[in-house]
């Protein structure tokens, strides 16, 4: 309990999930003899304590005119002005599941679509006129344009990208300046995380817009993908048709099994292999598995995108570098940094289990800004699960997560997960761990040892033993 941190920017769903897990830890610690152990020692030898005092949440501000929350679900949805929040007494599984379901159900009075990533919808407050007239009208229109009514933010972000990224690129090619080029890359870099995870939803659901908007749903990735660093359709072929088939197994081109996940040289090899050879590796993977049409499609779209960049580079090299080439290079690195963090901890006994080869993060960057990407185990268990359903699915399956020794972390994202691994800072990672089941009784040092053990590389002999149907000589 002493290391649970409640970031004020957590989504409502994440706050409820984290409070629910904290209640489990508190109950298990009180019931277990191990609760009498001395507190974990900090680096200076004193008992480890939280970064700030254990403060009671401040009373909720007056609710926005956008939404009036029933008292029955007000708990856990309060505005917290401190880094830490006490566990509420009514965050039991049934209450949390009911609240999360109501939050996602358009027919429920508690329903709240996501309009923008930076703030919860009922916290949008600009002016009385804007809050009571413009925003509700916009939400009503946008809900009719998206495939799932919670996803108003899809319309918001598409509007943002089409009114900023595209005009910026066009002006770069029309009248290039170095300052504009740098600012454009900074702008795109700020967009790419949210856009990539929006496209992640798109490739799994085969679209994010309503059926009557199918023409735009199919067209916009061909315009926006290259501006964000994606090559045409490659995300779909690599992620859906390859990664989710192999599931970080030995034949996954982005598998972490053979790497020492806290070794900077292994990490550089991992990134470099994808960076320079994925254009060749992915088609040949499909050929080895008898999927010749997929090989042709993957090669065609990847190479055609390279050709387009080459031709534009000959026409205007400086604009092309900032508008297309640099975003491509940065995203390729980012994708592998993220995947390394997602699959850094692989259980030594059962590495073929989705519960034990991926992790769950309850954090702000992954879940507020990137479509609940932190619920990676939930995504691997059901790749078609809608992003807003991950928190409730996690709470419903929490006992299975615990029995499978699944790993859950908070207050850290995939980027910092990778950074901490490169620093071999297992103490920080252990503090970020939210223990489930048997892991609750572990000391901080024991958690750190568990995490370190699960970053060791698998030998080919171990792979053949653990993946008898998949491993190839």
Domain boundaries, the chain: 12-112+345-454, 155-339
The closest alpha carbon to 112, from 71, 72, 151, belongs to 151
What pLDDT score does 36 carry?
46
pLDDT of 380 > 60? The answer is: yes
Using an 8 Å Cβ cutoff, are 124 and 66 in contact? Answer: yes
Nearest to 345 by CA among 432, 236, 237: 432
- Three-state secondary structure call for residue 121: helix
* Per-residue pLDDT tens over the stretch 100-152: 999 999 999 999 999 999 999 989 888 888 888 899 999 999 999 999 999 99
**pLDDT in the model for residue 78:** 33
Mean pLDDT across the stretch 335-346?
Answer: 96
Distance CA 163, CA 404 (A): 46
pTM value?
0.87
Facing residues of 361 across strands?
409
The DSSP 8-state label assigned to residue 211 in this structure reads: G
Report how far residue 165's alpha carbon sits from residue 228's, in angstroms, rounded to the nearest whole number.
9
Query: Which of 78, 71, 70 has its CA nearest to residue 19?
Result: 78
Task: Provide the 3-class DSSP secondary structure of residue 307.
Answer: helix
Please tell me which residue, 265 or 37, carries the higher pLDDT value: 265
pLDDT tens per residue across span 169-201: 999 999 999 999 999 999 999 999 999 999 999
Q: What is the mean pLDDT of the chain?
A: 88
User: For residues 469 and 373, which has the higher predicted lDDT (pLDDT)?
Assistant: 373
């Amino acid at each position: 309990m002493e290391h649970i941190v409640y970031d004020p920017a957590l989504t409502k769903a994440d706050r409820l999930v984290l409070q629910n897990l904290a209640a489990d830890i508190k109950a298990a610690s009180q019931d277990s003899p191990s609760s009498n152990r001395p507190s974990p020692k900090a680096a200076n030898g004193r008992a480890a304590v939280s970064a700030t005092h254990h403060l009671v949440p401040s009373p909720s501000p007056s609710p926005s005119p956008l939404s009036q929350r029933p008292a029955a679900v007000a708990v856990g949805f309060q505005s917290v002005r401190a880094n830490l929040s006490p566990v509420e007494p009514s965050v039991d599984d049934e209450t949390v599941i009911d609240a999360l379901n109501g939050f996602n159900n358009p027919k429920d009075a508690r329903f709240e679509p996501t309009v923008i990533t930076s703030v919860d919808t009922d916290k949008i407050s600009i002016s009385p006129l804007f809050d009571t007239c413009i925003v509700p009208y916009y939400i009503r229109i946008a809900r009719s344009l998206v495939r799932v009514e919670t996803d108003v933010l899809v319309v918001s972000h598409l509007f943002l990208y089409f009114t900023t990224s595209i005009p910026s690129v066009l002006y770069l090619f029309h009248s290039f300046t170095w300052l504009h080029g740098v600012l454009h890359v900074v702008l795109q870099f700020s967009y790419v995380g949210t856009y990539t995870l929006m496209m992640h939803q798109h490739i799994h659901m085969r679209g994010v817009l309503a059926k009557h908007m199918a023409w735009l749903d199919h067209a916009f990735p061909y315009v926006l993908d290259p501006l964000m660093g994606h090559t045409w359709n490659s995300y779909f072929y690599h992620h859906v048709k390859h990664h989710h088939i192999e599931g970080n197994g030995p034949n996954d081109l982005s598998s972490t099994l053979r790497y020492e996940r806290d070794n900077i040289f292994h990490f550089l090899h991992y990134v470099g292999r994808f960076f320079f050879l994925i254009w060749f590796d992915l088609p040949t993977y499909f050929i080895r598995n008898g999927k010749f049409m997929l090989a042709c499609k993957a090669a065609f779209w990847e190479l055609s995108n390279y050709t387009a960049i080459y031709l534009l580079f000959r026409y205007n090299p400086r604009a092309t570098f900032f508008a297309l080439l640099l975003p491509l290079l940065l995203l390729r690195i980012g994708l592998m940094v993220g995947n390394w963090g997602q699959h850094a901890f692989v259980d030594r006994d059962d590495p073929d289990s989705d519960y034990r080869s991926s992790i769950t993060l309850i954090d702000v960057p992954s879940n507020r800004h990137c479509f609940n990407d932190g619920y990676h185990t939930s995504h691997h268990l059901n790749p078609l699960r809608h992003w807003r359903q991950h928190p409730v699915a996690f709470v419903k399956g929490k006992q299975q997560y615990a029995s499978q020794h699944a790993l859950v972390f908070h207050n850290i994202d995939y980027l910092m997960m990778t950074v901490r691994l490169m620093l071999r800072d297992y103490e920080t990672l252990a503090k970020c761990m939210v223990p489930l089941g048997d892991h609750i009784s572990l000391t901080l040092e024991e958690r750190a040892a568990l995490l370190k053990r699960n970053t060791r590389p698998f030998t080919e002999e171990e792979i053949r033993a653990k993946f008898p149907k998949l491993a190839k000589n």
